[in-house]
């Protein structure tokens, strides 16, 4: 694959500000191998604006976490740019989108994978008009994500350790479930109390929790995992199974592949998409097939 011109979008705030220290390494990684220009983001949503104006570029490289990639994905998609491929240098706290694409956390190896990689077309999810590449969670897991975002600089953790710290803070201080109404594809409405609803395009979120372990990001579907009401005492022994992706046998867990989901609640619900935080009472979720071009390692057998 010949790459003629690239834009590198680097989020200096990612991973407690550690990603900002990597700006000087971009030349070391790509000079003489790739014609590129570097843009450091200046705040939330800036990467969206930069990515909306990338016509004429063969490649955009997002340097940061899932949130940075999320903004670049939305910039590309909002401008209907299907020619510029997205490559990742995952340097954030969770990096679940990079994990889904098979991208290494090692900077040098990830750069090699981009330079030697192949193009792949993947699906996206959309919730209330916002695109997401990997994951959407509503309910308890979203409260964990919101808490993790608040405490990440305090605890100086990333990935599963960060999310477990946030999870136990909620379980022991302010845990509760949520009453919702849900309509899946053409089915009738169901009304129930839930712990969480995940509607994912990739297998994991939260830095490696395999919530939807069978998810494929190029099959035209989103993978649903709905968990019925659970008490804190029921959640704790189930956590190892969720981390390992071996929870689908549990009677409180319901999984299926879907195209569309509508969720309504009388109260404001916490949600997270690709690590970005949101709230809402009404959620319209849809699969958008073959919507984004990405770079994956050359040995990726899913191509």
DSSP state letters, 31-79 = TTT--EEEEE--STTHHHHHHTT-TT-SEEEEEE-HHHHHHHHHHHHHT
Q: For the chain, which domains are there?
A: 6-116 (3.40.50.10330), 136-287 (2.60.200.40)
**Could you tell me the pLDDT band of residue 2, with boundaries at 50, 70 and 90?**
low
φ, ψ of residue 14 to 5 degrees: the values are -65, 150
Q: How far is it, in rounded angstroms, from Cα 66 to Cα 72?
A: 10
Among 51, 45, 87, residue whose Cα is nearest residue 67: 45
Mean pLDDT of 113-142: 96
Q: What is the pTM of this model?
A: 0.92
Q: Which tens digits make up the pLDDT trace of 61-108?
A: 999 999 999 999 999 999 999 999 999 999 988 899 999 999 999 999
Q: Which long-range contacts (CB under 8 A, 24 or more apart) does 230-233 make?
A: 230/177, 230/195, 232/171, 232/172, 232/175
Determine contact, residues 140/170, Cβ cutoff 8 Å.
Answer: yes
Neighbours of 303 (CB within 10 A): 13
Across 258-276, b (16+ Cβ under 10 Å) vs e yields: beebebbbeeebbbbbbbb
Q: How far is it, in rounded angstroms, from Cα 111 to Cα 145?
A: 28
């Amino acid at each position: 694959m010949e790459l003629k011109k690239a834009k590198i979008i680097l989020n200096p705030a990612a991973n407690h500000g550690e990603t900002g220290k990597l700006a000087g390494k971009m030349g070391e990684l790509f000079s003489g191998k790739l014609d590129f220009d570097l843009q450091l983001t200046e705040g939330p949503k800036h990467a969206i604006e930069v990515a909306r104006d990338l016509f004429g570029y063969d490649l955009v490289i997002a340097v940061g976490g899932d949130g940075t990639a999320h903004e670049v994905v939305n910039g590309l998609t909002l401008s209907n740019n299907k020619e510029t491929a997205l490559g990742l240098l995952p340097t954030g706290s969770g990096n679940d989108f990079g994990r889904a694409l098979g991208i290494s956390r090692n900077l040098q190896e990830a750069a090699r994978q981009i330079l030697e990689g192949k193009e792949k077309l993947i699906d996206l999810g959309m919730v209330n008009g916002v695109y997401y590449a990997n994951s959407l969670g509503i309910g308890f897991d979203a409260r964990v994500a919101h808490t993790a975002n608040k405490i990440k600089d305090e605890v100086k953790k990333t990935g599963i350790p960060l999310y477990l710290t946030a999870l136990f803070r909620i379980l022991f201080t302010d845990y509760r479930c949520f009453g919702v109404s849900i309509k899946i594809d053409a089915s009738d409405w169901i009304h129930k109390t839930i712990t969480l609803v995940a509607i994912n395009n990739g297998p994991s979120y939260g830095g490696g929790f395999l919530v939807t372990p069978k998810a494929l990001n190029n099959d035209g579907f989103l993978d649903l995992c709905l968990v019925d009401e659970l008490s804190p005492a029921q959640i704790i022994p189930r956590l190892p199974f969720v981390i390992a992706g071996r929870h689908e046998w549990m009677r409180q867990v319901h999984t299926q592949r879907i195209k569309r989901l509508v969720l309504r609640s009388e109260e404001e619900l916490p949600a997270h998409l690709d690590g970005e935080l949101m709230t809402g009472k009404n959620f319209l979720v849809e699969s958008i097939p073959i919507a984004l071009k990405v770079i994956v390692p050359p040995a990726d057998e899913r191509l």
